[in-house]
Amino acid sequence: MTDRADIPTAHCATSAAETARGRVVVAMSGGVDSSLVAALLKRQGYEVVGITLQLYDHGEATARKGACCAGQDIQDARRVADLIGIPHYVLDYERRFADTVMSSFADSYMAGETPIPCVTCNQEIKFKDLLGMALELGADKLATGHYIRLDHTPSGPVLSRARDADRDQSYFLYATTRAQLERIMFPLGDLPKSDVRELARELGLPVADKTDSQDICFVPKGRYTDVIERLKPGALKAGDIVHVDGRHLGRHDGIINFTVGQRRGIRIPSQEPLFVVRLNAARNEVVVGPRQALETTALILKGVNWLGDEDLRDAAAGERALHVRVRSSQPTQPAILTAEADGSIKVTLCEGQQGIAAGQACVFYADGSDTARVLGGGTIVRTLRSADEPAIGATKLNEAAGAEVARR
């Protein structure tokens, strides 16, 4: 394992051509995407330095197919670096990752939320810590293997969805700030995954056909409750299951076993299908009800990162029409952005959506196209139903919905 102080700020083998193109640190996870990025930038004449962050190391997770940033992945990154002729360093970030990503993941679930740890990892580890380290080492840029497009314009960086819609990772990168985008490279934004693997094969990279990593990389066997119990002993506390109409229906073994929209595992006899409608952490209650009780028409956000041309407050004051996505696997939908009296940001959906949970991300897009510009986003702190909120300007909602129909 390398200490960051041991990484040189220059390399004797650097050619004049590489010096002219500049120095780039590549975040190498050991997968095909970041490996190809390192190889392509090297061929383009950059002075490339590969850095792998060891984020965790707990038994089965390091050997699990589809995991990343531990065990075999570190060895794969080193093999690629040796093959293409670049220096490679492994930094121990296990404690930082546990304190920043894993701990907040557990806290969020215990608060009755559905967190997205990949957003936290990108925001706090890759584009904060690792980018800062890259700049300290004299690099001009940090490059990653994410699928998203980044263009530099006279008015600043513009982030857009990847050309390969099936691989687009904009949902997980909305929190990247303008200042960070000035120092980041996303070389794969215009490439489909099939081309990435083909290029990797042509270059002889040993990871060309390696299985892609999974979203929650630190969860062995997909059992997130095991991780939460290990991090937060006593997290599993029994409580009540209640109906939205107030009836007491039964008991549960811990709210961390449930997410909003869940149907299986409730284990309550009922003549109608029951779904988890909300989780009341303060009372340790799981609230269930019929499918229609899941309908959400508006969202209150926190931690909003705005990437639009106008100021966020100006956009919200003007009831900005845009598109949003509240799950990475779902299409965008038209919505209206406004500001509440207390300054919080509200998103009103033109069409209600079911099963939205606090803790999820709401990502903003300029329109509903597959290559739309990313306008930022925020974390959902509260969901609202039509009965809970005053009606937003009907004209604005109709305009946004009409624009979507016209686009289609």
356 alpha carbon, distance to own chain's centre: 16
User: Which residues are designated catalytic?
Assistant: 121, 217
Would you call 271 exposed, middle or buried from its count of C-beta atoms within 10 A (0-12, 13-18, 19+)? exposed
Reference 335, options 277, 403, 278; nearest CA is: 403
Give the separation between CA 133 and CA 2, rounded to whole angstroms. 13
* Cβ pair 162, 34 in contact under 8 A: no
Please give the Cα distance from 17 to 50 (Å, whole number): 19
